[in-house]
Homo-oligomer: A and B are copies of this chain.
């Protein structure tokens, strides 16, 4: 089973479908354990990139970071604002100009 299959199997339940979600997972399989991890800093930059595309608040983002001997994983779960509210924001900006 590939990871893409896993995403397919883990579709939201009906009650959750109303919200758009963006999920980002980063897994780093490490050979050299003594090097400092760059995943926490990478996480910040990933969020900056995501914010270029969607307007997300800090509280809409949940982060998990785990590490064991040879693997580190970073999981970002982001609840996206609804489409309607985004269009309203665009309208507001046009009025301000």
Q: Which residues of A contact B (CB under 8 A)?
A: 2-4, 6-8, 10-12, 17-32, 35, 38, 41-42, 45-46, 49-50, 52-53, 64, 66, 68, 70-71, 73, 75, 82-83
Q: Which residues of B contact A2 (CB under 8 A)?
A: 75
- Cβ of A28: which chain B residues have Cβ within 8 Å of it? 20-23
Interface of A is mostly: mixed
List 26 contacting pairs A-B, 8 Å CB cutoff, sorted by A.
A2-B75, A3-B6, A3-B23, A4-B73, A4-B75, A6-B6, A7-B27, A7-B71, A8-B71, A8-B73, A12-B29, A17-B29, A17-B31, A17-B70, A20-B29, A20-B30, A20-B31, A20-B32, A21-B27, A22-B26, A22-B28, A22-B29, A31-B82, A41-B53, A42-B49, A42-B50
User: Judging by beta carbons under 8 Å apart, are B17 and A27 in contact?
Assistant: no
Q: Which residues of B contact A12 (CB under 8 A)?
A: 29
Do the beta carbons of B75 and A3 come within 8 Å of each other?
Answer: yes
